[in-house]
Amino acid sequence: MMNQDVIIKVIELLGTFAFAISGIRHAAAKHFDWFGGYVCGIAVAIGGGTIRDVILDVPIFWMTTPIYMICTAVALLTVAFLSKWMEPLKNAWFVFDTFGLALFTIAGIQRSLDAGQAFWVAIIMGCITGAAGGVIRDVLLNNEPVIFHKEIYAMACVVGGLAYWGGIELGVPVGITAVVSFVVTCLIRFLAVRYHISLPILQGEEKSDGD
């Protein structure tokens, strides 16, 4: 079995690439230049993990090695030069975003557990790691954050986190637990989008211009 630290590092790098691809593609849709695309990609890739590490008061993960910046640069080049071949795969960008969400949720949970936090705290940190980068991306692009509307997003992180907790409690190896959590998180989001499943909408009075 692979060392646990190696597994989490691989998960973080895969999540970085997947989220960076998603952020850069959204920037491309808004006709940003390469620098703007890189900023959006890096914001999605490291935003949630940065917030998590600040809250946990641990060394910020991307400041220990340049590999995350390099990974985002590779994602930028991928979008710049290969997007026209990937364009026929209309759901490819949604898939990358979902993969990043699941991978970063797992990484956030395990990093929180390594910092000595309770599992309920770790699940919250997993949600922040997975979802906060998308919020930052949407703010930069002047879009309504997807986490607050449309399909299931953060709740997929919660359920995937609970699956991770269940595996750890049952003594399942970390690698297998991570795979199960990844599949659960992705499956929930895919099904939610496919069947238009969402949380109930809050009802309130419309504000007038004078309010």
pLDDT tens-digit series, residues 20-68 = 988 898 898 899 999 999 999 999 999 999 999 999 999 999 999 999 9
Specify whether the CB–CB gap between 164 and 177 falls below 8 A: yes
What is the residue type of 59?
P
pLDDT of residue 50: 96
CB neighbour class for 55 (10 Å; exposed up to 12, middle 13-18, buried from 19):
middle
Q: Which two tokens stand for residue 105?
A: 């949720």
- Domain for residue 67, yes or no? yes
Inform me whether the pLDDT recorded for 117 exceeds 90: yes
Q: Using only C-alpha atoms, what is the Rg of the chain?
A: 17
97-111 residue pLDDT tens: 888 899 899 999 999
Q: Is the dihedral of CA 2, 6, 9, 14 positive or negative?
A: negative
* Structural domain containing residue 123: 4-80+89-194
Over the stretch 119-169, which tens digit does the pLDDT of each residue have? 999 999 999 999 898 899 889 888 888 777 656 888 899 999 999 999 999
Question: What pTM, to 2 d.p., does this model score?
Answer: 0.85
Would 168 be classed as within a structural domain?
yes
- Does 93 fall in a domain? yes
Structure confidence at residue 172 (pLDDT): 93
- 205 located within any domain: no
The answer to whether residue 209 is domain-embedded is: no
pLDDT tens-place string over residues 180-210: 999 999 999 999 888 888 878 777 766 655 5
Asked whether residue 207 is domain-assigned, the answer is no
What is the number of other CB atoms lying within 10 angstroms of the CB of residue 63? 11
- The total domain count for the chain is 1
CA distances from 130 to 3, 146, 147, 204 (A): 23, 13, 11, 29
Q: Report if residue 111 sits inside a domain.
A: yes
Residue 88 has pLDDT above 70, yes or no: no
CA separation for the pair 34, 179 (Å, rounded):
34
